[in-house]
Structure 1
Amino acid sequence: MIAAIAAMLPPFNAGAQVNLPAGSTSTQLSDLMIALQFQHIKLWFAGKFSNWDLANYELRQIQINLRRAMPSPSESLRSSQATEQLQALDRAIQQKDGAAFAKAYSDITNGCNACHRASGFGSITIQVPANSPFSDQLFADQIAQGRALAHGACGLCHVISDSSMETPAFRFPAPSFSEIASRPSFSANDLRQLLTSNHRRVGPNQAMLKPKLVEYQIDAIVAFFETLQADRAR
């Protein structure tokens, strides 16, 4: 994939006057720009699908690589315009504001193109991505989806997230998800089997019916369950 994107970039002109960061080479700068392009794409789709944790992560990676690519004071993140654009993106992500995110993302994209032109690379123009090249990555917040699905499929009997806020409609003794996650003998595969079984005895007078879930919904609930296990292990 990297090779494909690199092949689409204009060839480097050895005779051109290009100001590179001190101690770097054109290859190192090109590698950083490719990484930034990937992160720029991932940031957009993370925000588009309201995966704010992922959007926050990608923005931090962009900030790190921008500092590496432009370490001189005149070109660095100390530029007031770039700083304002990045801060606007950060605010939108922290506030989980999709409209503000789209506006800030467009502004930072235009800022990137302005930097390219000022640096003699005006032929490189980036835009808001139309499609994701990352077919192996799910940009939706699978954990949040799993939490919501668990509430819908299991919340009648189980406390899913917060015992102080949740009151299951059926009060017979059903362990909370947190309690289930704390059991060393109960794995994510056990939960997957439980959610796909026709019936599962959970007590002498009770049976848990098979939830009407498709595979991607089960994957999401399992992802949420695994975060509960990880939280308890920390």
Structure 2
Amino acid sequence: MRLLTMFIAAIFVTAASSAGAPAETKPVGASSALSDLMTRLQLQHAKLWFAGKLSNWSLASYEVQQIDRNLEAAGALLSDPSRIALAKDRLQAVDQAIQQKDVPAFTQAYSALTNECNGCHRTGGFASITIQIPVRPPVANQLFVDQLAEGRALAHGSCGTCHVVERAAKDSPASRPPAPSFLEITNRPSFSADDIRQFLASSHRRLGPAQAMPNPRLADYQIEAIVAYFETLKAGAPP
């Protein structure tokens, strides 16, 4: 009986020691890490194309930063990192085109970057991996257009006759007296994006002089763009 008790106690001690011990982790090999980085770069390369072609310069600049970081990390894993330096030179030209908001220059620099990627693959013995200019967006759940810029333009076109749209407007609305400014609307305690969304989708006939506020007849994606602009004003970001 005593022997059985000691045996059971030993089992519990062993189990407790195993549960408390940290799990052993295996280091990721350089080849696997490089493959992961290249997969990230491929996605960012595709996103960069659509952001630049659609003049979403903020998103394009963000993707350039991500690509630059991952190129640096990839260079640390290569036996000959000199090719990474060439790719970074091409990436800098892309960034310059983005800063200048120049779509033709962006297209040319992006093509040169793509060619450099393929040259690096061939030099490294991976000629079968050929990158091309993407023909469709890499993900279906992201907009590549500049939604904020579209919302601002739509707000001016659809609402600017009666409302002050910008935070600091140079022109006054044509209506007298003018309707509440967008900034005033966003500063109301009752403001919510859902209410604006619902209001823009309605007939608008319950507001304004003689309840005659016009209906801009916006599509859903246009409403979302204007809502995005409202939310930017609410957050205090530059419009």
Q: Which AA in structure 2 matches 1:155? A: G
Q: Identify the residue that residue 48 of structure 1 maps to in structure 2.
A: 53
In structure 1, distance between residues paired with 2:79 and 2:31: 20
Q: Identify the residue that residue 121 of structure 1 maps to in structure 2.
A: 126
CA RMSD of the aligned region, Å?
A: 2.1
Deviations 1:105-161 (A, max 9, x none): 001111111111122212111011111231111111111111101111100011111
Identity of aligned residues (%): 59
Q: Identify the residue that residue 30 of structure 1 maps to in structure 2.
A: 35
Q: Identify the residue that residue 75 of structure 1 maps to in structure 2.
A: 81
Long gaps (5+) in structure 2: 1-27
Q: Which AA in structure 2 matches 1:75? A: P
Q: Which AA in structure 2 matches 1:138? A: L
Deviations 1:37-93 (A, max 9, x none): 0000000011111111110111100001111111279516873x3343122111110
Q: Which has the larger radius of gyration?
A: 2
Aligned residues between the structures: 209
Q: Identify the residue that residue 107 of structure 2 maps to in structure 1.
A: 102
Q: With the length of structure 1 as denominator, give the TM-score of the two structures.
A: 0.82
Secondary structure of the corresponding residue to residue 209 of structure 1: coil
Q: For 1:212, which of 194, 209, 217 is the aligned residue?
A: 217
**Contact in 2 for aligned 1:67/1:77 (Cα 8 Å):** no
- Once the two structures are superposed, the pairs formed by residues 160-175 of structure 1 within 5 Å of their partners are 160-175=165-180
In structure 2, distance between residues paired with 1:204 and 1:129: 51
**Contact in 2 for aligned 1:146/1:217 (Cα 8 Å):** yes
Q: Which moved more, 1:34-43 or 1:67-76?
A: 67-76
Long gaps (5+) in structure 1: 1-22
Q: For 2:151, which of 140, 146, 149 is the aligned residue?
A: 146
In structure 1, distance between residues paired with 2:216 and 2:112: 45
Q: Identify the residue that residue 19 of structure 2 maps to in structure 1.
A: none
- Please report how far the alpha carbon of residue 199 of structure 1 lies from its aligned counterpart in structure 2 after TM superposition: 2.9
**Contact in 2 for aligned 1:67/1:76 (Cα 8 Å):** no
In structure 2, distance between residues paired with 1:60 and 1:35: 13
- Once the two structures are superposed, the pairs formed by residues 223-234 of structure 1 within 5 Å of their partners are 223-231=228-236
**Contact in 2 for aligned 1:88/1:104 (Cα 8 Å):** yes
Q: Which has the higher helix share?
A: 2
- Please report how far the alpha carbon of residue 179 of structure 1 lies from its aligned counterpart in structure 2 after TM superposition: 1.7
Q: With the length of structure 2 as denominator, give the TM-score of the two structures.
A: 0.80
In structure 2, distance between residues paired with 1:191 and 1:39: 33
**Contact in 1 for aligned 2:51/2:145 (Cα 8 Å):** yes
In structure 2, distance between residues paired with 1:207 and 1:77: 65
Q: Which moved more, 1:31-40 or 1:129-138?
A: 129-138
**Contact in 2 for aligned 1:66/1:77 (Cα 8 Å):** no
